[in-house]
Structure 1
């Protein structure tokens, strides 16, 4: 079982090497440098308490000023190892967040070690844009996303640029980033 320190260290390493290092998300560096990312871990093997933890993290995020906590990464290293199960969970979680009043306030982005976009093959390098060391639920403030998109005039081109970056890097280059579980030691 992965502990909290390991889960956060591995996910931070992935963020720094892949997301920021490859500029997969041009908005990530600023919140990371300003220490505005809240790192949280859900450690049980079962998903029973994950929704409650996600809702608690959403409430905590909204209760903070964006300058203090702009986004939250909730890492679930020991649960939902199957991507399809995780994807189903994410759909339910989005509905529950909306019912809890976070529609238009927070967005949920998802990352998983086996992430696969619809219509792609498992080994398609483009899937790496959403592959993290562990199942991860990313809570983002809608207003922060809107500000970031306004500041980045070609935001709709990010995905295409990411695919180009990953295709140039290739599977061996992605593996060389060493962003998998256990890569970082706390």
Structure 2
């Protein structure tokens, strides 16, 4: 298997964000920050936990070092070494621990996306899993204050998850494939 370069991996994530996340309105908060240029895309080519956690720490510092009007969120793409979903989950747990050790609980939140994501109670081929699938393993740093503001503005934020699962199941595997939001060959 050929490993994508950083530029290709970031382009894949940008296409996925535009066509799937925003295009299908999977996250009603994403369109505004993307339109304002407040989403930062970064890539880490390291395939070790230590290297990725170092990059995550740097990206967290860079995010917090900027005003949210300039940079509100960061997507850190991992094109190498984390194809295994369970290994990636271990990395996400370590990323959460890193943020906690740095005293960032309540300041930053870590979300994650993976090409092989599947909910524990769902079949691996359930189209609903696409709500958390991206073309490459990706760590998403979000500002808690921004999340709070978005939830206040969206009266039924908890309904988003269920609506997304229904939307993706209705779209089906063929509809998802037609979006062309996978990794570049």
Question: Shorter-chain TM-score: which interval?
Answer: over 0.9
Deviation at 1:101, TM superposition (A): 1.3
Structure 1 segment 18-167 matched on structure 2, within 5 A: 18-167=20-169
The one-character-per-residue Cα deviations of 1:37-77 (angstroms, maximum 9, x if unpaired) are 01000013333300010011001101100000000000001
User: Does structure 2 conserve the Cα–Cα contact (< 8 Å) formed by 1:47 and 1:79?
Assistant: no
Counterpart check, 1:11 vs 2:13: yes
Alignment: residue pair count? 183
Unaligned runs of 5+ in 1: none
Q: TM-score, normalised by structure 1?
A: 0.96
User: Does structure 2 conserve the Cα–Cα contact (< 8 Å) formed by 1:126 and 1:163?
Assistant: yes
Question: What is the SS of the residue equivalent to 1:114?
Answer: coil
Unaligned runs of 5+ in 2: none
Deviation at 1:117, TM superposition (A): 1.2
User: Does structure 2 conserve the Cα–Cα contact (< 8 Å) formed by 1:40 and 1:73?
Assistant: yes
Counterpart check, 1:180 vs 2:182: yes
Deviation at 1:181, TM superposition (A): 0.6
Instruction: Point out which structure has higher relative CO (alpha carbons under 8 A, 6+ apart).
Output: 1
User: Does structure 1 conserve the Cα–Cα contact (< 8 Å) formed by 2:126 and 2:169?
Assistant: no
